[in-house]
A and B are shown apart, each in its own frame.
Chain A
């Protein structure tokens, strides 16, 4: 039990030129095995053309407790969205 293979987070890029997306995790002893396992577990139906595997212990994450401090300031800055500025209907291409 002390010898459990470490956990890896798997990211897959699909064919359509989108960014790599987190798809799940798996256990593997080393990087090569992580890629091989990711291929078997997460791309059995042409889900992707590229795999990233990152050791879960290397992922740095924001904590749920910081949610308000981090994300709430954006709520009041509605002028960051184009819809904030009403445009005259006669004016085109804006």
Chain B
């Protein structure tokens, strides 16, 4: 998802007997669905895991603006351009809500940015794929934001108050993103044969990476049990992925385009779609930095940060000057 394979730093989930009194009280609060707030006592591993998860989520929102920004100047109409800009501006907002939530855990904004730029912190694998045609903007809104909603709605109930509250705001805005994407796909699929082919091509390229967004299969997810016990992960990777496939296939049917998966079929007994094997070696390569756009994305972020340094410094110098004048007056 926007936070994939978050390391909890924990080998196994502690049983009641192994916990300290504080840890037991903490777990009891979580089990009773009482939110943990920044100043409450929390295990160090919980704090560190949340910093990793929330900052990774924030970085994904911020880096996620880049593939879409690629099309702002080439949107097919002024209306589409205005909508795309509003969508991208929302993503900046999502990043900011989440950075603020992470800051309540005792990490500074600048440290998070430094960790992203040094490669220590990650962002979602999905944003390392290129946006080659306008149809990709449709596919991203429909599939990538659609997958994000799947993951983010349960997180509105997560155990850490600031993260849960940020999720509530974000979820309110996401459905605009998904609909504007589907609306682009609708227009293309109702258009000329060439436009319909664009929509199909975008689906072909974005479908598998979208399924990978949910992270590795549950059997291989080492850290899920602890994250589930802490209620910072509510549904498992496979559960979310299945829900996403089930909701999305009929939407593609309506568009008259097909998933690039010959094994995809409805299973009436399970009441779910069966889908083909995911190429996890591709996912691992993208995480390692070898996706089509990894270097480009990070270089763009670093350049923006470095180029903006003098503006940030000047704003602080100006504020300091004005404050000192006020003191004199």
Q: Which residues of A contact B (CB under 8 A)?
A: 1, 3-5, 7, 24-27, 29-30, 33, 40-42, 44-45, 61, 63-64
Q: Is the CB of B318 within 8 A of A44?
A: no
Indicate if the CB atoms of A27 and B90 lie closer than 8 Å: no
Q: What are the residues of chain A within 8 A of B108 when measuring CB–CB? A: 1, 4
> Given A24-B166, A44-B89, A44-B90, does the pair A1, B110 have CB atoms closer than 8 Å?
yes
Residue ID in chain B nearest A4 by CB atoms = B110
A61 nearest CB across to chain B (Å): 8
Which residue from chain B places its CB closest to the CB of A61 in the assembled complex?
B39
**Shortest CB–CB separation between residue B187 and chain A, in angstroms?**
24
A sample of 8 inter-chain contacts (CB < 8 A) reads A1-B110, A3-B316, A7-B103, A24-B166, A26-B96, A29-B315, A30-B315, A44-B86
- Measured CB to CB, the closest approach of chain B to A29, in angstroms, equals 4
Q: Could you count the A-B residue pairs with CB atoms below 8 Å apart for me: how many are there?
A: 52
With an 8 Å Cβ cutoff, the count of chain B residues facing the other chain is 28
Question: Are the CB atoms of B90 and A24 closer together than 8 Å?
Answer: no
A40–B37 alpha-carbon span in the complex (Å): 26
B40 on interface, CB distance cutoff 8 Å: yes
In the complex, the 5 A-B pairs of residues with the closest C-beta atoms, listed nearest first:
A29-B315, A30-B319, A29-B319, A1-B110, A25-B100
Which residues of the partner chain B approach A24 to less than 8 Å between Cβ atoms? 97, 100, 165-166, 169
- Contacts of B313 on A, CB cut-off 8 Å? 3
Interface residues of B (CB under 8 A from A): 37, 39-41, 86, 89-90, 93, 96-97, 100, 103, 108-111, 114, 165-166, 169, 173, 312-313, 315-316, 318-319, 322
Partner of A41, one of B93, B110, B315, B316: B93
Closest-CB distance, A26 to chain B (whole angstroms)? 6
Q: Which residues of the partner chain B approach A7 to less than 8 Å between Cβ atoms? A: 100, 103
In the complex, residue of chain A having the shortest beta-carbon distance to the beta carbon of B172: A45
Q: Enumerate chain A residues within 8 angstroms of B86, measured Cβ to Cβ.
A: 44
- Shortest distance in angstroms between B152's beta carbon and chain A's nearest beta carbon? 16
**Closest CB-CB distance, A62 to chain B, in whole Å?**
9
CB nearest to B39 among chain A residues: A64
Contacts A1-B108, A44-B90, A64-B40; A33 near B100 (Cβ below 8 A): no
A44 CA / B177 CA spacing, docked (Å): 14
Other-chain residue from A1, A44, A45, A63 in contact with B111 (beta carbon distance below 8 A): A1
Interface centre among B86, B89, B114, B319 (most CB of A within 10 A): B319
Closest A residue to B41 by beta carbon equals A64
